Structure 1
């Protein structure tokens, strides 16, 4: 296993989620800072919009319009002229706050959720995964997931992989041309690691942010770990491959306690690592 060392690109955020590389910069949600930001490779940041109900997953429609998950009101919003416009209301389809999102090249989005009211103290429950068509029509495409979190496409988009955070594994599905999912199976058992955000490289490997063990690992199908970035004392939240050659791994980390997330403390950072295999 190859060990890597990260360096801090930018810090002073509250809690970062949903990183996506797009048009020469990293787009990222500051969930508890209630903002979507754009961060360039020199660390300069620009606030693109505010999301009062907490932003999380990010993606883009084919025309470049950004999409952002609005967690607490369980909606996906389009960002139009720095303002939020409703894309899809998922409140009738999900059992808990929405979280991460994957948007494919056609503009079809997949959105996960907690499955139950975590903050309200409800009993744990499995969650559904929601697909949203480019016109905003939404439907359930699979059920029975243990907190579906980060997602990635591999095999030319024919396979969708989703992190099941509370089951400590990555699940895989076959995906047809209409976006339907089938063939639910385990892609990798993570041996006690709790996966959060994930991203895919050009060889079908997945970089996984392992929240509970303060590390980012690259995993192959079957669970073999080939690379590791340890970030001791900092939670590994999410990651994205990008940069000019696609070989910079952007790592979102959090050096605080869970109870700090909703306050004014700024323990979030973006760290970077140069890796061997470029983005898918």
Structure 2
């Protein structure tokens, strides 16, 4: 790592609900997602330097193997429904980076992990919605990586560990999901305490150094209210990639809020 290429962190961020940052209303008061939007808008200023590229793992893309998009000019995938017409006309023309994508594929293969490439995958809303807020100029190249359909936490931690060297090359690794994702539980009074209990456990796990962090996150399903917070865990698993890429030092919770009555957090790893 040279002085001109500072080591980037890895980050797990909440991507909100659908195109929530670009609406006057959502499933609740108009200011429901304002705090999350302000957090996202402030991310770039906290980085050691502008990233050379972003590697983003979204909770909205699953494949049998870890699949990296090699597309040079990805299109937006409007994979949400029932929102106002203008939210299907959003733009965010960030370029891809085929060379970096091939490097990602090689790192995963060299680590003995299942890996594949896609020449056509665009940016789903777990990618373009939060990053349109965080990096609105859309000038930094972005490479996207799928989850595997196994949703095995240990496997995804291993993938993050394999990809960690990219941080030394100025690549910001981003896990995009939600630390609480139970759509049927939002806006119910009993949700608050149960979501907070899971969030406390998750934060304590993230704040452990290695190898305790990996051990706890790998067993996340035994956490208090785990199945309530994540009836299906695809929105949590991007955290495992970010944590795996995060080095040995404890992670840090860098944001928390309770939109629609459920605690959510963002985490950063600088180890």
Q: TM-score, normalised by structure 1?
A: 0.27
Q: TM-score, normalised by structure 2?
A: 0.28
